[in-house]
Structure 1
Amino acid sequence: MDKKHAFRKNISFYLSVVFNVIEGMLAGFNFIVLYYTIKALITEQLTMSMLTQTILLLGAVFVIRLIVYAFGYTRGQIGGAQVSRILRLSLGDKMKKIPLSSFTKAQIGEYINATTTSVNNYENILTHKIGDIIKNTSFSLLLIGFVATHSISAGIVLLCSGLLLLPSLYLSFLMVKKYGNEKKNIMTKNTSDVVEYINGIQTLRSFGLGGVKNKATTDSMKAYSDISYVYEIKVIPIGTIFSILCWFSLPIVLYLAGHQWLAGNLEASSFFLISISPLFTCKLFGTLFIDLTSYKNFMIAKRQIEAVLDAEEEPSSDAFFEPEQYSIAFHNVNFAYSQEEPVLRDINFEIGSSQFVAIVGPSGSGKSTILNLITKYYEPNRGDILIGQQTIQSIATEKVMPKISMVDQDTFLFNDTILNNIRYTKPEATKQEIINAAKEANCHDFIEKLAYGYDTIIGENGNKLSGGERQRISIARAILKDSPILLLDEATASLDIENELAVKEAIKNLLKKKKTVVMIAHTLSIIKNADNILVVDGGQIVEEGSHQSLIAEEGKYAAMWKKEHQLSIV
């Protein structure tokens, strides 16, 4: 869905605009009725019959206004909600196309604000601000026009007081542009910091850094508070000065109308009407200043949404991807998260279809990055990656991912039932298929012991389960998906002995299937039977071979094996 279509207004919105104009004019009609009633009173022509007719007319206008307002307001709400719905769907669709490498800490705040606060603010423009601006503008113009028919000079004064909006709004818009954008940027960072704080709340509390003790989050909130204050003190004085200048129209109009009345050129009823008109116009102009400033501020939200919709997408491709076999090859692959910090340098290796290959090495050596490149979470800066002898750089991610199952050390689960959490990888799966997968993943027994079994809600990110239980559910997902390529990223890391044994047993069940398996392992005993072992260090493959051959080389792998063996004895 393109950006133009995402912001496209609908018939409900335009109907709301028309009815807001009508309501503004009907509001001015009350002023006209008041004028003729006062005129009849002063000229002693007011009768009970005429007063009754006037009351009935005002009542009829009130009912018509009520109907017009109700219809216009309802159409505005429906029209704005429909636009925001399309915007949210467009942003959701866009998120699927943005490279996963873009979802950094800073960008997460941008995306969250765009899909929540910014869409809400833009909806506020459509459902409230535009309607109020149109209604008050039409009311003001009708009132000035009516005053001008009785006194050109008074009408000109009221018009000039209204035109003071132009320089006032110009200055206000400058402040909004400068401080509103700065406020938006700080709010984005604040959102990112709060998300990080919530995700890391357990760790932060363990270090006594929860609440106000968390300096990063409190500083971020203080920055948002400060810019909000600065934003207000820059805009409020402009509105105050405009209001003061606008209210000068009251004594000027009173003097001009009084001079005309004393000269016999103005009726008493007209004098009264003109004298009180600034009380209405000044209030209307003040409301317009506030609404138009808010409108300009809310348009920052629109630009934030546009920035996300304009974000660079992963290259789309209609290229066919159904390889006959699932070998994996890296040819001179280089990758860096930033130019100053290369992660992988000239990586070359080949994994045969249905082979079991392990990747080992120290933390930060680039092991997980290799898996992320296979899954197309990231694209290499240079080099080529092939699956089934077909380069995947030109293949859309959504065509590659169905061929890959991944079990990560950081398992993510949804706040849903265990059944649905396993089913996410294969929505059409039957309950029996899910149970079979759970049995192979060594998690069926603990699920059956839960109060509601497979229908148990497991909480935010599975917080009602242990780490080992979450990991086994993740393995059950991979078993159910049954993809020809399986990637395991330190699936047994950070588990206690009992859970580690249960997870290892589940992994063994996975490895029995004829798949191309790439495993990153922190314990070497689990991968000693691998067909090939890649030893990565400093972003390069420094050793390669079977367990026995690498032990015989007495290099880095042999040293790691020796240290692990010593630890197991201890």
Structure 2
Amino acid sequence: MTTQDAKNKDQKNSERPQYFASIRLMSRFIKGSRFLFISSIILATASVFFELIPIWIIYHLIFLLISGDFTIDILLKYAVICAGSIILQQVSFGISTNFAHKAAFGVIYRIRLAMARHFSKLPMGYFLQRKSGDFKRLIVDDPERMEIIIAHGVPEGISGIIAWISVSFWLFWVDWRMAIASTIITPIAFAVQVYAMTASANKTMLKYKNSQGDMNASIVEFLTGMEVMKMFNSTGKNFQATADSVKDYTRIVNQWSREFLPKGGAFYALVTTSISIILPTGAWLMATGSLDLLSFIFFVILGAHYSTPLMKLFNQFHGLAEISMGATQINDILDSSGQFDNKCRVEPSSYEVRFENVSFGYSSKKSVLKNISFIAKENEITALVGASGAGKSTVAKLIPRLWDIEQGRILIGDIDIKEMSLSQLMETVSFVFQDTFLFSD
């Protein structure tokens, strides 16, 4: 994939989140932390099962109490087991969290290192068309959000799913009718939650990302240029632009919250109402003589907490859309091939610049130059004259390979500029940008 293809794909994918992009990005860089990552999953799963032991103990003690076999010695024995399981749950979960965070920080480090190395291979035009806030987000913010997926989402998510499946089998093994009453609300609730996450994200995510980039860039530029702005007494005007970008970001976040909260509230309302189905169903079955008291108590205790493991999972993924969109953009950048560098010095026969049937566009949808051919002779002044937007600046940017052309050739003397090393090309071509930049001593 070329850098131009990556840019086009980046624009297309930025319209909506790709929800498996974060898993793909994690898999690319997990190699150095695989042992820690797998260990954290195993320990997180063990902690969930340790958490279920006290529930089983309560159920068994009630059985002994009803059957008349309950004694103080049995109570003390189960109290010790219960305390031990709680301690083991806390220890295993703590070690799992420690391992997961170490794995996450290793992955984030490798992502940032790979991004920095790959940025050095991209053409200068890639950076000229983006704001400083975009790069801050790509290097700092988006990789940092992967910590939620790696350190919490995957270990706790996998352990939560395993625990949920285990509890489901347990419920159906005791009584399939009460199991249905306990579980029937759960798929409806989570369908509502998935819809809430995807619907609000697809509508607002692009606006959110753009406003976040504008705000980051505005704040960085305002702070960087503070000294010069004070010198020319233009602080108020520039501060207003920064304040407007912050207000725009706040407005979009509030809009996103308003779109999500009604559906998210419906999810939490549904997922906590299983007891309202368990109680009347159990009472009816007991009245008909087809359910014993012990089983009824079992479902009241365990069935009411049936969705707890999945609740933990969904609580970790409330920002999945934002994480996935950032991961999608990082994957697209890393998938791009970068700019070809011949690494060889070749001496041109002269320093005239020749365009031969050159075509170029900043995106695949619109071409800026089509079959352009001309010669700028050595030791002569060549002026490009045309209306605003005709492509004069674009022609100039193609000579030092700020962008690579799609068709045709650009030569310096008798050498195609792609055959020259990038360092030699930079030494050969002088370029004055239209944009102004402030540098401090």
Give the TM bin, normalised by the shorter chain.
0.7 to 0.9
CA drift at 1:95? 0.5
CA drift at 1:13? 2.2
Q: 1:243 touches 1:282 (CA, 8 Å); kept in 2?
A: no
Paired amino acid for 2:41: V
Paired amino acid for 1:349: K
Alpha-carbon distance change, 210 to 39 in structure 1, aligned in 2, over 3 angstroms: farther
Paired amino acid for 2:333: V
CA drift at 1:36? 0.8
Alpha-carbon distance change, 36 to 225 in structure 1, aligned in 2, over 3 angstroms: same
Q: 2:212 touches 2:249 (CA, 8 Å); kept in 1?
A: yes
Gaps of 5+ in 1: 352-356, 414-459, 466-570
Match in the other structure for 2:255: 230
Q: Structure 2 residue aligned with 1:350, among 369, 374, 378?
A: 378
Paired amino acid for 1:305: I
- 1:303 and 2:331 equivalent? no
Alignment of 1:199-278 (within 5 A): 199-206=224-231, 208-210=233-235, 214-278=239-303
Match in the other structure for 2:412: 386
Q: Structure 2 residue aligned with 1:100, among 124, 130, 155?
A: 124
Match in the other structure for 1:168: 192
CA drift at 1:326? 9.0
Paired amino acid for 2:352: A
- Which structure has more helix as a fraction of its residues? 2
Paired amino acid for 1:20: A
Paired amino acid for 1:57: I
Paired amino acid for 1:170: V
* Alpha-carbon displacement from aligned partner over 1:241-271 (angstroms, at most 9, x marks no partner): 1222333321210112223344444443432
Q: 1:19 touches 1:68 (CA, 8 Å); kept in 2?
A: yes
Match in the other structure for 1:546: none
Whichever of the two has the greater Rg, that structure is 1
Structure 2 counterpart SS, 1:106: coil
Alpha-carbon distance change, 375 to 384 in structure 1, aligned in 2, over 3 angstroms: closer
Count of aligned residue pairs for this structure pair: 404
- 1:147 and 2:175 equivalent? no
Instruction: State the alpha-carbon separation in 2 of the partners of residues 283 and 134 from structure 1.
Output: 14
Match in the other structure for 1:451: none
Q: Structure 1 residue aligned with 2:42, among 2, 6, 18?
A: 18
CA drift at 1:171? 1.4
RMSD of the alignment, in Å?
A: 4.1
Paired amino acid for 1:92: A
1 or 2 for the larger relative contact order (CA 8 Å, sep ≥6)?
A: 2
Alpha-carbon distance change, 165 to 301 in structure 1, aligned in 2, over 3 angstroms: farther
Q: 2:181 touches 2:281 (CA, 8 Å); kept in 1?
A: no
TM-score for both structures, normalised by structure 1: 0.60
Instruction: State the alpha-carbon separation in 1 of the partners of residues 263 and 394 from structure 2.
Output: 54
Alignment of 1:472-551 (within 5 A): none
Instruction: State the alpha-carbon separation in 2 of the partners of residues 331 and 307 from structure 1.
Output: 33
- Between 1:378-387 and 1:70-79, the stretch displaced more is 378-387
Q: 1:28 touches 1:142 (CA, 8 Å); kept in 2?
A: no
Structure 2 counterpart SS, 1:384: strand
Gaps of 5+ in 2: 3-20
Instruction: State the alpha-carbon separation in 2 of the partners of residues 20 and 302 from structure 1.
Output: 25
Q: Structure 2 residue aligned with 1:329, among 352, 364, 368?
A: 352
Alignment of 1:52-71 (within 5 A): 52-71=76-95
Structure 1 counterpart SS, 2:376: strand
Instruction: State the alpha-carbon separation in 1 of the partners of residues 360 and 82 from structure 2.
Output: 73
* Alpha-carbon displacement from aligned partner over 1:154-176 (angstroms, at most 9, x marks no partner): 21122222212442133122222
CA drift at 1:335? 10
Match in the other structure for 2:162: 138
Instruction: State the alpha-carbon separation in 1 of the partners of residues 254 and 307 from structure 2.
Output: 26
Match in the other structure for 1:444: none
TM-score for both structures, normalised by structure 2: 0.76
CA drift at 1:286? 4.1
Alpha-carbon distance change, 85 to 153 in structure 1, aligned in 2, over 3 angstroms: same
Instruction: State the alpha-carbon separation in 1 of the partners of residues 280 and 50 from structure 2.
Output: 29
Alpha-carbon distance change, 89 to 399 in structure 1, aligned in 2, over 3 angstroms: farther
- Which structure has more strand as a fraction of its residues? 1
Instruction: State the alpha-carbon separation in 2 of the partners of residues 6 and 258 from structure 1.
Output: 49
CA drift at 1:391? 2.9
CA drift at 1:296? 3.8
CA drift at 1:325? 7.9
Match in the other structure for 1:506: none
Q: Structure 1 residue aligned with 2:51, among 20, 27, 32?
A: 27
Q: 2:205 touches 2:321 (CA, 8 Å); kept in 1?
A: no
Instruction: State the alpha-carbon separation in 2 of the partners of residues 203 and 43 from structure 1.
Output: 85
Q: 2:274 touches 2:304 (CA, 8 Å); kept in 1?
A: no
Alpha-carbon distance change, 226 to 278 in structure 1, aligned in 2, over 3 angstroms: farther
* Alpha-carbon displacement from aligned partner over 1:174-213 (angstroms, at most 9, x marks no partner): 2222222331222123223333333433343345443686
Structure 2 counterpart SS, 1:350: coil
* Alpha-carbon displacement from aligned partner over 1:370-391 (angstroms, at most 9, x marks no partner): 997665445579763427x533
Paired amino acid for 2:166: L
Q: 1:6 touches 1:86 (CA, 8 Å); kept in 2?
A: no
Alpha-carbon distance change, 7 to 112 in structure 1, aligned in 2, over 3 angstroms: farther
Q: 1:154 touches 1:274 (CA, 8 Å); kept in 2?
A: yes
Instruction: State the alpha-carbon separation in 2 of the partners of residues 216 and 53 from structure 1.
Output: 69
Paired amino acid for 1:133: G
Instruction: State the alpha-carbon separation in 2 of the partners of residues 369 and 152 from structure 1.
Output: 70
Match in the other structure for 1:127: 151
CA drift at 1:51? 1.7
Q: 1:6 touches 1:90 (CA, 8 Å); kept in 2?
A: no
Q: 1:247 touches 1:278 (CA, 8 Å); kept in 2?
A: no
Alpha-carbon distance change, 110 to 98 in structure 1, aligned in 2, over 3 angstroms: same
Match in the other structure for 2:11: none
Match in the other structure for 1:109: 133
Instruction: State the alpha-carbon separation in 2 of the partners of residues 335 and 260 from structure 1.
Output: 77
Match in the other structure for 1:181: 206
Q: 1:360 touches 1:367 (CA, 8 Å); kept in 2?
A: no
Match in the other structure for 1:491: none
Instruction: State the alpha-carbon separation in 1 of the partners of residues 421 and 217 from structure 2.
Output: 29
Identical aligned residues as a percent: 17
CA drift at 1:234? 1.2
